[in-house]
Chain A
Amino acid sequence: MRGIVGVFGDLDDTVEAIEALRTKRLGDITVYTPTPRHEIEHALHAPVSSVRRFTLIGGLLGVTFGYWIPIWVSDYWPLVVGGKPIASWVPYTIIGFELMVLIGALSTVFGLFALVRIPRITMTVGYDPRFSDASFGVWVECRPDEERAVREILEEHGADEVRGAR
């Protein structure tokens, strides 16, 4: 992995640099930002997160399991009381609901971890501690022959610092 990172002090410079890089189709862009900004998201044209699929599947599994366990247990020790059905779905709805929330929430977290690939043991090439403080970073993973053009765009758009990393 090799590329160029530009450190920006201002949001508008960062957004303009991203747009210029995208227009010229140079490299693969990753933007580091101290807080999520709609301007950056729009400039990157990022697709909607697919974490919702994990949430849906987890929730469905949870509610199914939450109903299945008490129904199966009731059938395993069938005690008829007052001629009522052995498996009563009304109280089991509480178990189903709680397990839907529990497994749905945990699978959402699992989805988040899987999609952003964390936990990560080593820090990514190009990352700078200033990106969690007040600076914006644009990391462009590119071929050696594209590096010069990338540098020029980042400098042209007001990057405070531009350097290569690998």
Chain B
Amino acid sequence: MATLAPTERVADLDPRRIASANIQLPSVRTYTEVNDDIIGTLRPTAGWLAALAITITCMLIGATAWTYQIYWGLGVAGYHPPVMWGVYIITFVFWVGIGHAGTLISAILFLFRAGFRTTIYRCAEAMTVFAVMTAGLFPILHLGRPWKFFWLVPYPNWRFLWPQFKSPLVWDVFAILTYLTVSTTFLYIGAIPDIAAMRDRETDPVRKRIYGVLSLGWRNSDREWRHFARAYLFLAAFSTPLVLSVHSVVSFDFAMANTPGWHATIFPPYFVAGAIFSGIGMVFTIIIPLRRWLNLKRYVTLNHLDAAAKLCLFTSQVVGLAYLTEFFVAWYSGSEFEQSYFWNRVFGQWWWAAWIMLTCNTILPLSLFSQKLRRNTTWLFILSIFINLGMWFERFVIIVPSLSHEFEPWRWSTYAPTYIDWAILLGSFGWFSTWFLLFIKQLPVVAIAEVKEIVPPPLRHEHEHGIDVGGHHVPFEVETPGEND
């Protein structure tokens, strides 16, 4: 974070020097203000109820389609040999990927002391949990007999035969369940002090009791904070390699198969970069409307969005490099099958899907080189929709062209999702959004206790100092552009 000398005024500076990762909240001056503003967002509104009604309807459409599929079988989902993985696996990978940005923002950026995460991490972390919960549905949706889903759980059968621990599908179960458990734990542990603040302020006895139970009797003592800070650090330290491993394991589902376009060592880093990129896109899709509707512009400032947009631009570049590397490897390998597959992907049968992917994921994000566009919330929101679309199509491009264009030309085929696929895809968005909407009215979407760390503490004498991420007093940048937009 750039620090200005006390005599400097931001208005006098070259705009390129303005610190976009600035963590100060100059328009928030007291701890009470933080409690009032953030807990105040929990009151249900008519708009929230209407949004909830829409998402529940979407969820019911998905549930109806699934019921229909269970009755008639997986054939209604548009599968026919050799394309036996379609929208469900595409959407599974898509939702697991969405979750990654949440952990990146809450854990990795915490370890790196990136201050701009402070006001957006709670939303991102909740997004992770709900995205992984959504992803977890898809392997089950993809089962012919979904009521046997518990066979995925690694335990022995009556002949004491265990699952195959060398199978990527078993690794998936371990990775996804671990990720879901650790992410949920991380979210809950981080929220305990905030739940205690809500408990102390609540006047309704039933809600007060519920918050009392959920806060586990937390009372903000020095002893509690000391152990909490350490435990939070270790949870972040565990989550960091976990987030890298989960999408690596998901990529092994493909990379372990001897299929053109899949059998490549680039897959783990390529998947992880793509996952983080897609997740940041979804963070924008969620946080930009939220900061407007919940009146949180003083907390999630343009500077924070600007910094997150830089991260988005960086991951987009990494993903773009991975795409180019894939083409290079196909050419350099000398393998006729690989070369044929990649040509077919971009200029053949699936050109439209590949170009949607390339445009949305690598060309449009180049706009983020412009600071003006990074600070334009309308453009960021529109771009985030394109990124979501592009990343869904990335998984489409990975899965469908490979399966429909394997080694033997007589096996080459095509694939078209049916209305059941689309209904279940819509249902997955409904399921995710329903959880998220319920979350924003039950728990603070901005971490109260952590925001107080960057708000100047009450002191006997008036002061004009902000607090940096290390807890040091620094000159307060009152007029930093974007803080109050």
Contact = CB atoms under 8 A, between A and B. Distances in A.
A is bound by B:
yes
A131 B222 contact: no
B174 A116 contact: no
Interface stretch (A19-27, A106-114, A145-153): A106-114
Nearest to A87: B165
Interface string B294-323: 000000000000000000000000000000
Contact of A52 (B166, B217, B230, B460): B230
Interface string A21-55: 00000000011111111101100101011011001
Contact of A13 (B154, B218, B235, B460): B460
Nearest to A73: B162
A98 B178 contact: yes
Contacts of B224: 116, 118
Contacts of B160: 76
Contact of B223 (A10, A30, A127, A131): A30
A108 to B, nearest CB: 5
Of the listed residues B160, B171, B189, B225, the one surrounded by the most CB atoms of chain A closer than 10 A to its CB is B225
Interface stretch (B28-36, B378-386, B404-412): B28-36
B231 interface: yes
Contact of A10 (B218, B221, B230, B459): B459
A101 B178 contact: yes
Contacts of A119: 216-217
Interface string B230-254: 1100110011011001000100000
Interface in A93-128: 94-95, 97-99, 101-102, 104-106, 108-109, 111-113, 115-116, 118-124, 127
A73 B165 contact: yes
Interface string B172-208: 0011011001100110010001001101110000000
B228 interface: yes
A126 to B, nearest CB: 9
B44 interface: no
B234 to A, nearest CB: 5
A123 B193 CA distance: 14
Given A109-B185, A112-B231, A116-B224, A38 B471 contact: yes
A57 interface: no
B459 A11 contact: yes
A109 B30 contact: no
Contacts of A97: 241, 245
B161 interface: yes
A36 B233 CA distance: 14
Identify whether the interface residues of B are mostly helix, strand, loop, or mixed.
helix
Interface string B105-143: 000000000000000000000000000000000000000
A101 B238 contact: yes
Nearest to B192: A118
B110 to A, nearest CB: 14
Contacts of B460: 10, 12-13, 158
A61 B245 CA distance: 19
B220 A123 contact: no
Of the listed residues B175, B231, B458, the one surrounded by the most CB atoms of chain A closer than 10 A to its CB is B231
B200 A133 contact: yes
Nearest to B460: A10
Nearest to B156: A73
A34 to B, nearest CB: 5
B31 A30 contact: no
B227 A116 contact: yes
Interface of B: 30-32, 35, 154, 156, 160-162, 165-166, 171, 174-175, 177-178, 181-182, 185-186, 189, 193, 196-197, 199-201, 216-231, 234-235, 238-239, 241-242, 245, 249, 449-450, 452-453, 457-461, 471
13 contacts: A33-B220, A35-B452, A36-B228, A38-B471, A51-B230, A76-B162, A98-B242, A99-B174, A108-B238, A111-B231, A116-B223, A129-B200, A132-B35
Question: Ordered nearest first, which 5 A-B pairs have the shortest CB separation?
Answer: A120-B217, A129-B200, A35-B452, A134-B31, A70-B165
